[in-house]
Structure 1
Amino acid sequence: MRRFVRDNSLSLFFLIAFLLALAGQSVAGNADANARRLSEGSAPISWPAYVTSSDFAVDVAENWQSEYLQFLLFILVTVWLVQRGSPESKKPGEEGREGDAEQRIGRHALPGSPGWAKATGLRQTLYGNSLGLLMGVIFILSWLGQSVAGNAAYNERQLAQLQDPVSWAGYVVSADFWNRSLQNWQSELLAVLSMVVFSVYLRQRGSPESKPVGASHDTTGTGG
């Protein structure tokens, strides 16, 4: 067990931090929702009722879809685009998908390579793009989840104000939906931009997300 924890400590840390943050969001969100309901003359709702509500679902889903959009874009564009001096980038001149030898696939696979990397045809193609495909699927599913939950929450507000509800199609082209989406997208894209640029000139000793402290600013694609 001790070895398992050590070997997976990075994943475990972020899993625990995620669960604590999600729990904290549910408690704070419930308190905020009840404060609004009381100010409007409505009865407060319980925590179980809140975490199964469209309000909570849309708040969670809109953050998830923006995070996975960030990862999807970063995974795909770093195949072809570079930033000189950043450890998050390939070296200039190495843009592209690389050859089979560099990727260690097919007849160039090593004894310890995954089975699908040794295969050919569709299996190799799917495995060679599996990370981007998974991030894309999660982004689409969370985007759909946000749109459905957001539509339900929006219609609850509409009915409470004695206004007509809108269809799902009407909601996904509404200002409410795109305001929720774009306010998250811009923050995620800014965070990636900051990481790519700041890592050219700044260091964090011992982190694989940073170059070695003594590396020159032009050193690209090297973690330390």
Structure 2
Amino acid sequence: MRRFVKDNALSLFFLTAFVLSLVGQSFAGHAAANERQIAEGGTAVSWVEYVTSAEFTVDVAENWQSEYLQFLLFILATVYLVQRGSPESKEPGKEGGESDADQQVGRHAEPDSPPWARNGGLRQGLYGNSLGLAMGGIFLLSWLAQSVTGTASYNADQLAQLQDPVSWGEYVVSADFWNRTLQNWQSEFLAVLSMVALSIYLRQRGSPESKPVGAPHHATGVEG
């Protein structure tokens, strides 16, 4: 058990941080929702009612979709685009999908390479793009969840104000939907830009997300 924890400490740390922050969000959101309900002359709802409501789900989903969009775009962009001096980038001149030898696929596979890396055709193509496909799939599902639950939450507010509800199609082209969406997208893109650019000149000793402390600024694709 101790070996398992040590070997998976990074994943376990972020899994724990995720669960704690999600639970914290649920309690804080529940309290805020009840304050608003009471101020508007309504009645308080239970925690269970709140975490199963469209209001809570849309807040969670809109954050998830922006995070996975960030990872999807970063994964795909770094295949073809480079940033000289950044450890987040490949070296200039290595743009593209690289050779089979570089990627250790087909006849260049190692004895312990994944089975689908040794095979050609569709299976190798799918496995060779599986990370991007997974991130893209999660992004689309969370975006769909955001749009559906956002429609329900928006219509609840509309009915409370004695206004007509809208359809899913009308909501996904509405200002409310894109205001929520773009708020998250711009912050994610800024975070990636900051990581790519600042890592050219700044260091974090011992981190694989940073170059070695003594590496020159122009060194690219070098990890600490």
Q: How many equivalent residue pairs?
A: 224
Matched, 1:81 2:81: yes
Matched, 1:163 2:127: no
Q: Tell me the distance in 1 between the aligned counterparts of 2:86 and 2:174.
A: 38
Residue type of the alignment partner of 2:155: N
Residue type of the alignment partner of 2:198: F
Residue type of the alignment partner of 2:33: A
Cα displacement (A) at 1:164: 0.3
1:16 maps to what in 2? 16
Cα displacement (A) at 1:103: 0.3
Cα displacement (A) at 1:166: 0.1
Q: Tell me the distance in 2 between the aligned counterparts of 1:30 and 1:202.
A: 40
Cα displacement (A) at 1:189: 0.2
Task: Write out aligned runs for 1:61-140 (5 A).
Answer: 61-140=61-140
1:36 maps to what in 2? 36
User: Matched residues, percent identical?
Assistant: 74
Cα displacement (A) at 1:122: 0.4
Q: TM-score, normalised by structure 1?
A: 1.00
Residue type of the alignment partner of 2:39: S
Cα displacement (A) at 1:48: 0.3
2:181 maps to what in 1? 181
SS in 2 for 1:171: helix
Q: Tell me the distance in 1 between the aligned counterparts of 2:125 and 2:38.
A: 56
Cα displacement (A) at 1:23: 0.2
1:144 maps to what in 2? 144
Cα displacement (A) at 1:188: 0.2
Q: Tell me the distance in 2 between the aligned counterparts of 1:108 and 1:223.
A: 25
Q: Tell me the distance in 2 between the aligned counterparts of 1:54 and 1:103.
A: 44
2:26 maps to what in 1? 26
Residue type of the alignment partner of 1:104: Q
Cα displacement (A) at 1:82: 0.3
Q: Deviations over 1:118-176 (max 9, x none)?
A: 01100000000000000000000000000000000000000000000000000000000
Q: Deviations over 1:73-114 (max 9, x none)?
A: 000000000000000000011111001000000010000100
Q: Tell me the distance in 2 between the aligned counterparts of 1:178 and 1:223.
A: 37
Q: Tell me the distance in 2 between the aligned counterparts of 1:220 and 1:36.
A: 51
